[in-house]
C-alpha cells in the first residue's frame, strides 16, 4: 500500500473517531474549533499562501461548520463566515486578486443602499449590527471568496484535495448524528424533518452538508480511487453519509447532492476519451445500484416513512397540501414586498421585523433570492444577475472545470431552501470560477 493511501485511510479513521470523542466529551469540540483557526493561521504564516493554502484551510472550515455548530464548538454562530473572510483577506495580502473579479466588488456595492434603507426603516431598539450581519454575512463572504478564486489555476487533482478537506468533517457529522439518536424507533414517528436524527440541530443545515458530503465521496469513487481498497472505502463512506442524510428527513440538501452527482456524471462522460467512457458505463451501473441500495436500506430502517416523506405524504399516507412546508408563503410575502418597494427594497433585515409583528415570533427567510429582491429591490436583481451569469460566461474559456455546474447548482439550490445560513454555498460558489486544468496524469477510472 502506498503512503498516499495510508494517509488517506488515517484521515478517514481520525474523523470517524472525532465524532465519537466529541459526542462523549463535548468540551473537545471547542478545542477542535479553535485548533482549526490556530493551525490555519500558522500554516499561512509559514507558507505565505504559495500553494493556495488559503483555499484548503477554508475548505476544511466549511466542512466543519455544521459539526461545530451542533456540538457548540464555534465561538459564535457566524464564526465560519468570519473566518473565511479573515483568511481570504490574508490571501489577498500574499497573492492579490484578479482585476477580472471586479464584478464581485460591484456586487458588494449593490448591497450598500439596502443598509442605508435599513438604517431608516428598522425599529428603534433593534440590534442593528446583528441584523445586518445575519443577513449580509453570507453575501459578503461569497464576494470576498470569489474575488480570491476568480481565475486562480488549480488542477483536477487539487480540486479533489479541496473537496476531501471539506468532506472529512462531514464524516464526523454523520457519526455524531448516529450516536445522538441510536434507536430510530424512539425518535421517528412522522415524516417531518427530524432534529433528533440531525444531531439535535437544524435538519436543513445538516441535510445540506451531508448532501454535499454525499457528492464529494461519490466523485472520489470515480476520480480518486486508485486501488480496490480505496474504492471500497469510498463506496462505504458515500453509502453511510447518504444514509444519515436521508434520515434527517430534510429533502433539500439530499436532492441537491443527488442532482450534483448527475451533472458531474454528465460532464465527466463527455470530457472522457472513448476508452474511459466504456469504463464509466460500469460506474453509472454502480451508481444506480448504490443509490437503490441506499434508498431500500433507509426505507427498511424507517419502515417506509422515507418513501412517504419524498412523496410529500404524512405518516398515514395522506398527501400534504404544501410541498414547501410553508416556505411558499414566505416567498410570496417577499415578492409582494419587492413589488411594493421595487427600487431600493424594504431594507436589510426589515423582513424579519414584518414577520415578527405578523406571527409573534422571529421567522427569517429561507430563500436568498426573494430576500435579495425584497430587501434590495432592483439592485438585488442586478446582484443576482452578477452571481448567476459570471460563472456561465467564464465557462466559455474554462471548459476543463468539470465541477463548475455542480458547484453552481449547489449554490443556487441551497440558497433556495436554506438561504445562506452556512458558509458552504458562498465557498462552493467561489470554486466554480477557478481556472481548472487536468493533471498531467489525468484521473481515470483504472483500479490496481
Could you report the per-residue pLDDT of 91-123, keeping only the tens digit for each? 999 988 888 889 999 999 999 888 888 777 655
Q: Is the Cα dihedral 78, 83, 88, 92 positive or negative? A: positive
* pLDDT tens for each residue of 69-81: 999 998 888 899 9
pLDDT at 116: 81
87-92 long-range Cβ contacts below 8 angstroms, 24+ apart: 87/40, 87/44, 87/54, 87/57, 87/58, 87/61, 88/54, 88/58, 88/144, 88/145, 88/147, 88/148, 89/144, 90/44, 90/49, 90/54, 91/44, 91/49, 91/54, 91/148, 92/147, 92/148
Q: What is the pTM of this model?
A: 0.93
- The Cα-based distances of 134 to 137, 423, 429 in angstroms read 6, 12, 19
Query: What is the pLDDT of the chain when averaged over all its residues?
Result: 88
pLDDT at 444 over 80: no
Residue 193: band (very low, low, confident or very high) from pLDDT cuts 50, 70, 90? confident
Under the banding of pLDDT at 50, 70 and 90, the label for residue 360 is: low
Q: What is the pLDDT of residue 446?
A: 46
Q: Give mean pLDDT, residues 38-66.
A: 96
Yes or no: say if 222 and 266 are a contact pair by the CB < 8 Å rule.
no
Amino acid at each position: 500500500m502506498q503512503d498516499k493511501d495510508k494517509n488517506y485511510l488515517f484521515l478517514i479513521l481520525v474523523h470517524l473517531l472525532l465524532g465519537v470523542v466529541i459526542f462523549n466529551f463535548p468540551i473537545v469540540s471547542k478545542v477542535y474549533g479553535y485548533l482549526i483557526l490556530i493551525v490555519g493561521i500558522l500554516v499561512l504564516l509559514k507558507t505565505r499562501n504559495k500553494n493556495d493554502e488559503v483555499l484548503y484551510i477554508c475548505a476544511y472550515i466549511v466542512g466543519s461548520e455544521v459539526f461545530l455548530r451542533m456540538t457548540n464548538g464555534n465561538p459564535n454562530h457566524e464564526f465560519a463566515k468570519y473566518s473565511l473572510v479573515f483568511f481570504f483577506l490574508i490571501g489577498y495580502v500574499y497573492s492579490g486578486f484578479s482585476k477580472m473579479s471586479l464584478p464581485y466588488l460591484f456586487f458588494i456595492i449593490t448591497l450598500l443602499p439596502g443598509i442605508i434603507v435599513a438604517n431608516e426603516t428598522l425599529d428603534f431598539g433593534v440590534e442593528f449590527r446583528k441584523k445586518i450581519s445575519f443577513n449580509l454575512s453570507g453575501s459578503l463572504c461569497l464576494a470576498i471568496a470569489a474575488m480570491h478564486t476568480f481565475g486562480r489555476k488549480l488542477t483536477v487533482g487539487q480540486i479533489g484535495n479541496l473537496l476531501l478537506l471539506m468532506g472529512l468533517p462531514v464524516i464526523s457529522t454523520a457519526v455524531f448524528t448516529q450516536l445522538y439518536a441510536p434507536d430510530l424507533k424512539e425518535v421517528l414517528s412522522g415524516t417531518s424533518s427530524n432534529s433528533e436524527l440531525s444531531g439535535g440541530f437544524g435538519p436543513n443545515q445538516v441535510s445540506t452538508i451531508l448532501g454535499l458530503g454525499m457528492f464529494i465521496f461519490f466523485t472520489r469513487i470515480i476520480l480518486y480511487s486508485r486501488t480496490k481498497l480505496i474504492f471500497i472505502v469510498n463506496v462505504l463512506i458515500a453509502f453511510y453519509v447518504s444514509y444519515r442524510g436521508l434520515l434527517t428527513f430534510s429533502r433539500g440538501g439530499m436532492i441537491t447532492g443527488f442532482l450534483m452527482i448527475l451533472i458531474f456524471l454528465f460532464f465527466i462522460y463527455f470530457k472522457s476519451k472513448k476508452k474511459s467512457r466504456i469504463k464509466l458505463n460500469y460506474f453509472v451501473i454502480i451508481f444506480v445500484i448504490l443509490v437503490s441500495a441506499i434508498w431500500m436500506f433507509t426505507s427498511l430502517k424507517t419502515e417506509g416513512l422515507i418513501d412517504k416523506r419524498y412523496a410529500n405524504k404524512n405518516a398515514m399516507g395522506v398527501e400534504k397540501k404544501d410541498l414547501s412546508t410553508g416556505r411558499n408563503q414566505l416567498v410570496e410575502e417577499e415578492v409582494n414586498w419587492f413589488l411594493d418597494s421595487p427600487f431600493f427594497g424594504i431594507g436589510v433585515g426589515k423582513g424579519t421585523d414584518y414577520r415578527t409583528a405578523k406571527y409573534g415570533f422571529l421567522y427569517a427567510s429561507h430563500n436568498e433570492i426573494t430576500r435579495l429582491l425584497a430587501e434590495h429591490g432592483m439592485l438585488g436583481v442586478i446582484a443576482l444577475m452578477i452571481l448567476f451569469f459570471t460563472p456561465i460566461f467564464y465557462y466559455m474559456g474554462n471548459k476543463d472545470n468539470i465541477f463548475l455546474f455542480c458547484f453552481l447548482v449547489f449554490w443556487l439550490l441551497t440558497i433556495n431552501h436554506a438561504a445562506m445560513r452556512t458558509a458552504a454555498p458562498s465557498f462552493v460558489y467561489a470554486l466554480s470560477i477557478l481556472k481548472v486544468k487536468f493533471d498531467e496524469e489525468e484521473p481515470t477510472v483504472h483500479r490496481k
